[in-house]
A and B are shown apart, each in its own frame.
Chain A
Amino acid sequence: MSTVDYGKIGLKIGLEIHQQLNVGSKLFCSCPPELVKDEVPEMTFLRRLRPTQSELGKVDPSVFFESQKGVKILYEAHRKCACLVDMDEEPPHSLNREALKVVLTAAFMMNMQPVDEVHVMRKTIIDGSSTTGFQRTSIIALGGWIKVGEKVISMQAVTLEEDAARKIGVEGDGKIVRYRVDRLGIPLIEVATAPVMYSPLEAQHVALAIGKILRDTGKVMRGLGVIRQDLNVSITKGTLVEIKGVQELELISTVIEYEVQRQLGLLKVKDELGSRGITREVLKPVFVDVTDIFRESKAKVIRKAVDKNQKVLAVKLVGFAGFLGRELMPNFRVGSEFSDRAKFWGRVGGIFHTDEMPNYGITAEEVAAVCKAVGASIEDGVVFVADTAENTFDALKAVVDRAQEIFDGVPAETRTAKEDGTTRYMRPRPGASRMYPETDIPAQAITEELLQEVLANMPEPAEKKLARIMEQYLLNEKLAKQILDSEWVKMFEEIVKETGVAASTVAAFLTETIKALKRDGIAVENVNENQVKALFATIGSGALAKEALAVVFSWLAKNEDKTVQDAIEALGLKMFTEADVELIIDHVIAANKPAIEKNGKGALGMLMGLVMKEVRGKANPELVNRILKQKI
């Protein structure tokens, strides 16, 4: 793996970075950009989406694909963050001007050139993620470059678009998909680079740099899920594959490494099959009903289906023995590649193939019977699947289609990234013909006045900001850099200004402590900005010791929708009042009379230690010191 020469195989990577904008409302209505956690939706409605022909008169392959699945979509909505616009029951309002300004700001920061006129387009996506069946998107600026290290990275375009609804789940044998429309319509900026990165690590560095530029606008959302990275990965002999939804920056290089591995692996399988004389033509969509073999099977999944009167259908893949189990990525084999297609097209839970048999309670005898039924020799692979008649047929058809595609090398497709860095099939790669003008929104000129307004309000350049932060908050360079690189810099300044807590305390917590907590598995994203502010405000007011920051924060992460006060009560961290402290001090003084008489003021240090031990962090040391001095 580590021996791959990326230059030699002609690896090229382009990035598309999406980030939610924090401009107070959605892109085409005034609903707040909030997500709703409640389990039970306030309203639900059922929809079906149909493919339509685009402006150029073609049905896009990816659109056609979705429609083939015949699914219905059940949307969940809440009045506090979704109106008729989000429900596709009212035309969009005009484009959010604040969002447009943020995108122009980012465009200037990346040396891009704004277009003269913005045309909002409809990007057709009928998987249900938009109630309209399309995503509204528009190009705001083109060209440009950024410098990452010593290298100049060319940019392609920056677009302003609406975020999609959140998928909640699938039910009814895969025929009903649930989406929640709260996220739909939240403004997203999408920054696309040219395909000019040539190694996995380089791509990761560029993504980091773009993420920082976006944060420097001061108008992007913070937290998990607000930034999504799409990767366009190709190698010379492979194909351009689009990988969607890499949420963790640190994962980018791994995802690319795995994708290269997958493409090289597929090419190798193609060559080996070829040298064995196997061709596309010998793979035939001939499906055999093998349900009877499994009537008394001990394999749970299969028996469940058979007992429900469903079917087990099998297909022979000539010459595929040994290839189905070939690993392309960690825990991902050629068989998984087939399984993904079967799941998508056939709505099945998965497939079984002979390279992994006997397994899952399926016996060697059963496998032999299946092979016999389809007429497979020892050199052939067999795939079988248990589900409804319609689903098994669609699933195996997808398997044969995919098997035939092996001979094309790497199929052009859109894949989705998993948390471990591997990817899964999502849909065929969409073409330009799914773009259609959004007729409900007139073209909008980017006027000179607007550009001047944006230019007059550009964020502080990075170097200047570093110098200012170091000087203004008396932070060392390392900490100042850390806070600048984090997503908290705006919050940092606000917290220091509003709460009076020492800048170094705030900075250290927002960078090092949070990072450490995250490493320890604390779900830091569960704590929202208001809670963080409230936490520091409590410390600023003296009602909580700064030593308790991490423990309160962790408690909040584990107990969603609770307040800082709840945390303090639950953790027993309530600070002693001045009167409480005085009582404790009186007590300590009384108990140490002889020592005080002997040492006078010299006893202060000793007394201080004793009192602090008594209050166990629930009193401010300065307060204790002051009272002690008064008393002796």
Chain B
Amino acid sequence: MLGRTLSLLFDREIGMSELEHSGYKGIALRLLQAAGCQVGDIIRVISKDRIYEGILIPRAELCDAASIIVKMKSGYNVGVTAFEGVVVEKIGVGVKPMFTSPLLPKQNSVLPRVVIMSTGGTIVSRVDYRTSAVRSVMSANDLYSVVPELSEIARVDTEMVFSMYSENIAPKNWTELACKVAECIKQGVDGVVVAHGTDTMGYTSAALSFALQNLPVPVIFVGAQRSSDRPSSDAAINLIGAVKVAGEAPFAEVGLAMHETVSDSVIVVHRGVKVRKCHTSRRDTFKSVNGFPIAKVLDQKVIMESGDYQRRDASKQLVLKADFCEKVALVKFYPGMDPAVIDFYVNQGFKGILLEGSGLGHVSSVCFDAIRNATAKGVVVALASQCIWGRVNMNIYDTGRDLLSLGVVALDDMFPETGLVKLMWVLGQTGDPEEVKQLLKSNIAGEFMLCTFPQEKIVYEGM
């Protein structure tokens, strides 16, 4: 279906899609076929003595009502219910709805070379006539062409790796993406930008942080919370910021660039393993958790936020370790949780379980037997806190100590999502239980901070 949508919108050589792919069904489809109408034609619909004239617009398949959508001269769409007795006439051939890219701007040879890789998501999305909802269909190339400012920042190449909603992206896609990025970097680009849906962008940025080691140049993830087909989209500003950072920032790590606040002013770059989506819809949804941003972009300038980063150095040799184990589960503890949940994963042959414990790192003692059984069978059980903010410390209460004695690995200040990705990555690297534990505890990509600092401004408020 997505393929259909793509050709409908992008294949400029192919004519209008046939009616049966336009979403019309049943009586509406029959009436339109009988009148010889195609989407984009100018039609007249006469129903209950009312006359509607305008362009035939594709129908959202997901709607039940059998109605014909007409875009009237005023630009408004209206739906006309189709039933026997409704008259449909084709009165002209109209403009077919499609998106035309402006010409690509010229490239300046002194500017850094940046590759924008597209994986899908809001940042590369437009209206889908099939569902009338927003869909990821724009290629990175289209995106570049509608953000001409990029031509003043970098020489941009674009590559479409895949076009997926981010919730459909799986560890095997991380592997594919990591390999593509590595290929680009080996060809000597000055930076890579990955356009990604925001829902799971934090997972992917963590995954690539582990998979791409000893980076010579930055790899910057970027997304948008408002689709790029609306004037208020954050896509252009985020993208401009990301390309700027990828092209010229002094660091060489995996970062994630998005709005710092609800204003279109500062773009902030978070460390790939320390960033989490924290709001369903706001532009500043991504926050550094138990860590601080690496850099900011303000007024077209990259400003480093600390001196603690891996330096950009074109002579560095990239190490690619792109294997992930998919047999890893994220299990969130909750009051009354049945330990059978843990048994299930063990019986299914899972290699690792990331427990999302409460508070400083606890789960009910009711689960102890199941956990003991898991570790005895060689399943790696690691624990991060569902509090999101703060550090796990399993030495404070009996429960924590008991869990440690059962072989649970405490993931300190890693929040659960990064913990999960790391467990997948570690198990993709080695099967040896001791090596796994040792790797889990080593700081690979800045996922551990030795101390946790307050992230908000703390103000002394008087007596």
Interface on A for B, CB 8 Å cutoff? 45-53, 55-57, 63, 72, 84, 87-91, 113, 115-119, 121-124, 126, 131-134, 137-139, 142-143, 157, 159, 431-437, 439-440, 442-443, 445
- Taking CB atoms and an 8 Å cut-off, the chain B residues in 218-253 that contact chain A are 225-233, 236-237
| Contact of A56 with B97 at beta-carbon distance under 8 Å, contacts A433-B75, A442-B132 already known | yes
Residues of A contacting B330 in the complex (Cβ-Cβ under 8 angstroms): none
Q: Is there contact, CB below 8 Å, between B133 and A119?
A: no
B56 → A minimal CB distance (Å): 13
Contact of B261 with A by CB under 8 A: yes
| Contact of A49 with B231 at beta-carbon distance under 8 Å, contacts A56-B97, A57-B98, A87-B262 already known | yes
Contact of B189 with A by CB under 8 A: no
Residue of A nearest to B232 (CB): A133
Interface on B for A, CB 8 Å cutoff? 47-48, 50, 52, 55, 57, 60, 62-63, 65, 67, 69, 71-81, 95, 97-100, 127-128, 132-134, 146, 225-233, 236-237, 261-265, 280-283
- 10 CB-based A-B contacts, threshold 8 Å: A50-B231, A53-B99, A115-B78, A117-B78, A117-B80, A133-B232, A432-B74, A436-B229, A437-B57, A442-B62
13 more contacts with CB within 8 A, not counting A50-B233, A115-B78, A117-B80, are A46-B263, A47-B263, A53-B229, A55-B57, A90-B281, A113-B50, A115-B79, A116-B65, A119-B77, A139-B78, A439-B134, A439-B227, A443-B65
Residues of A contacting B263 in the complex (Cβ-Cβ under 8 angstroms): 45-47
A-B residue pairs, 3 tightest by C-beta: A133-B231, A117-B79, A435-B75
A126 touches which of B72, B80, B132, B231 (Cβ 8 Å): B231
Q: Is there contact, CB below 8 Å, between A90 and B231?
A: no
Q: Is there contact, CB below 8 Å, between B231 and A132?
A: yes
Residues of B contacting A46 in the complex (Cβ-Cβ under 8 angstroms): 263-265
Residues of B contacting A437 in the complex (Cβ-Cβ under 8 angstroms): 57, 77, 127, 132
User: CA of A102 to CA of B309 in the docked complex: distance in angstroms?
Assistant: 60
A452 → B minimal CB distance (Å): 16
User: CA of A115 to CA of B280 in the docked complex: distance in angstroms?
Assistant: 34
Q: Is there contact, CB below 8 Å, between B78 and A47?
A: no
B325 → A minimal CB distance (Å): 36
Q: Is there contact, CB below 8 Å, between B79 and A116?
A: yes
Residues of A contacting B97 in the complex (Cβ-Cβ under 8 angstroms): 55-57
B281 touches which of A45, A89, A138, A157 (Cβ 8 Å): A89
User: CA of A579 to CA of B67 in the docked complex: distance in angstroms?
Assistant: 75
| Contact of A57 with B95 at beta-carbon distance under 8 Å, contacts A89-B262, A442-B63 already known | yes
Q: Is there contact, CB below 8 Å, between B50 and A142?
A: yes
A194 → B minimal CB distance (Å): 13
A73 → B minimal CB distance (Å): 9
Residues of B contacting A55 in the complex (Cβ-Cβ under 8 angstroms): 57, 71, 97, 127
Residues of B contacting A440 in the complex (Cβ-Cβ under 8 angstroms): 134
B374 → A minimal CB distance (Å): 41
B199 → A minimal CB distance (Å): 14
B130 → A minimal CB distance (Å): 11
User: CA of A63 to CA of B229 in the docked complex: distance in angstroms?
Assistant: 14
User: CA of A362 to CA of B134 in the docked complex: distance in angstroms?
Assistant: 58
B229 → A minimal CB distance (Å): 5
User: CA of A47 to CA of B230 in the docked complex: distance in angstroms?
Assistant: 13
A232 → B minimal CB distance (Å): 12
| Contact of A45 with B262 at beta-carbon distance under 8 Å, contacts A51-B231, A88-B232, A432-B73 already known | yes
B59 → A minimal CB distance (Å): 9
Q: Is there contact, CB below 8 Å, between B282 and A90?
A: yes
User: CA of A55 to CA of B77 in the docked complex: distance in angstroms?
Assistant: 11
User: CA of A594 to CA of B369 in the docked complex: distance in angstroms?
Assistant: 110
Residues of A contacting B65 in the complex (Cβ-Cβ under 8 angstroms): 116-117, 443, 445
| Contact of A52 with B231 at beta-carbon distance under 8 Å, contacts A435-B75, A443-B60 already known | yes
Q: Is there contact, CB below 8 Å, between B77 and A121?
A: yes
A496 → B minimal CB distance (Å): 43
Residues of B contacting A121 in the complex (Cβ-Cβ under 8 angstroms): 75-77
Residues of A contacting B236 in the complex (Cβ-Cβ under 8 angstroms): 50
Residues of B contacting A57 in the complex (Cβ-Cβ under 8 angstroms): 95, 97-100
A443 touches which of B76, B132, B226 (Cβ 8 Å): B132
Q: Is there contact, CB below 8 Å, between A53 and B230?
A: no
Residues of A contacting B281 in the complex (Cβ-Cβ under 8 angstroms): 84, 89-91
Residues of B contacting A131 in the complex (Cβ-Cβ under 8 angstroms): 232
Residues of B contacting A432 in the complex (Cβ-Cβ under 8 angstroms): 71, 73-75
Q: Is there contact, CB below 8 Å, between B226 and A439?
A: no
Residues of B contacting A47 in the complex (Cβ-Cβ under 8 angstroms): 232, 263-264
Residues of B contacting A88 in the complex (Cβ-Cβ under 8 angstroms): 226, 232
Candidate in B60, B63, B73, B132 with the most chain A CB atoms within 10 angstroms: B132
User: CA of A48 to CA of B33 in the docked complex: distance in angstroms?
Assistant: 45
Residues of A contacting B283 in the complex (Cβ-Cβ under 8 angstroms): 89
User: CA of A88 to CA of B77 in the docked complex: distance in angstroms?
Assistant: 23
User: CA of A475 to CA of B297 in the docked complex: distance in angstroms?
Assistant: 70
Residues of B contacting A431 in the complex (Cβ-Cβ under 8 angstroms): 75
Residues of A contacting B228 in the complex (Cβ-Cβ under 8 angstroms): 52
Residues of A contacting B99 in the complex (Cβ-Cβ under 8 angstroms): 53, 57
User: CA of A89 to CA of B282 in the docked complex: distance in angstroms?
Assistant: 5
Q: Is there contact, CB below 8 Å, between B134 and A115?
A: no
| Contact of A143 with B50 at beta-carbon distance under 8 Å, contacts A46-B265, A57-B97, A117-B67 already known | yes
User: CA of A139 to CA of B227 in the docked complex: distance in angstroms?
Assistant: 24
B178 → A minimal CB distance (Å): 32
| Contact of A52 with B230 at beta-carbon distance under 8 Å, contacts A437-B132, A442-B60 already known | yes
User: CA of A436 to CA of B128 in the docked complex: distance in angstroms?
Assistant: 12
Residues of A contacting B95 in the complex (Cβ-Cβ under 8 angstroms): 56-57
Residue of A nearest to B285 (CB): A89
Residues of B contacting A443 in the complex (Cβ-Cβ under 8 angstroms): 60, 63, 65, 67, 69, 79, 132
Q: Is there contact, CB below 8 Å, between A119 and B76?
A: yes
A498 → B minimal CB distance (Å): 42
User: CA of A139 to CA of B127 in the docked complex: distance in angstroms?
Assistant: 20
A41 → B minimal CB distance (Å): 13
Residues of B contacting A138 in the complex (Cβ-Cβ under 8 angstroms): 76
Q: Is there contact, CB below 8 Å, between A439 and B100?
A: no
Residue of A nearest to B74 (CB): A432
Q: Is there contact, CB below 8 Å, between A132 and B232?
A: yes
Residue of A nearest to B60 (CB): A443
B68 → A minimal CB distance (Å): 9
User: CA of A90 to CA of B259 in the docked complex: distance in angstroms?
Assistant: 15
B118 → A minimal CB distance (Å): 18
Residues of A contacting B60 in the complex (Cβ-Cβ under 8 angstroms): 442-443
Residues of A contacting B48 in the complex (Cβ-Cβ under 8 angstroms): 113
User: CA of A433 to CA of B57 in the docked complex: distance in angstroms?
Assistant: 14
Residues of A contacting B261 in the complex (Cβ-Cβ under 8 angstroms): 45
Candidate in B99, B227, B232, B283 with the most chain A CB atoms within 10 angstroms: B232
Q: Is there contact, CB below 8 Å, between B76 and A116?
A: no
B165 → A minimal CB distance (Å): 15
Residues of B contacting A433 in the complex (Cβ-Cβ under 8 angstroms): 75
Residues of B contacting A142 in the complex (Cβ-Cβ under 8 angstroms): 50, 52, 78
User: CA of A51 to CA of B79 in the docked complex: distance in angstroms?
Assistant: 27
User: CA of A434 to CA of B236 in the docked complex: distance in angstroms?
Assistant: 20
B318 → A minimal CB distance (Å): 35
User: CA of A443 to CA of B60 in the docked complex: distance in angstroms?
Assistant: 9
User: CA of A134 to CA of B280 in the docked complex: distance in angstroms?
Assistant: 22
Residues of B contacting A137 in the complex (Cβ-Cβ under 8 angstroms): 76
Residues of A contacting B57 in the complex (Cβ-Cβ under 8 angstroms): 55, 437
Residue of B nearest to A432 (CB): B75
A507 → B minimal CB distance (Å): 42
B64 → A minimal CB distance (Å): 9
Q: Is there contact, CB below 8 Å, between B81 and A157?
A: no
B36 → A minimal CB distance (Å): 22
B102 → A minimal CB distance (Å): 9
Residue of B nearest to A431 (CB): B75
Residues of A contacting B134 in the complex (Cβ-Cβ under 8 angstroms): 439-440
| Contact of A49 with B232 at beta-carbon distance under 8 Å, contacts A90-B281, A138-B76 already known | yes
B81 touches which of A116, A119, A133, A436 (Cβ 8 Å): A116
Residues of B contacting A51 in the complex (Cβ-Cβ under 8 angstroms): 231
B76 touches which of A90, A124, A132, A139 (Cβ 8 Å): A139
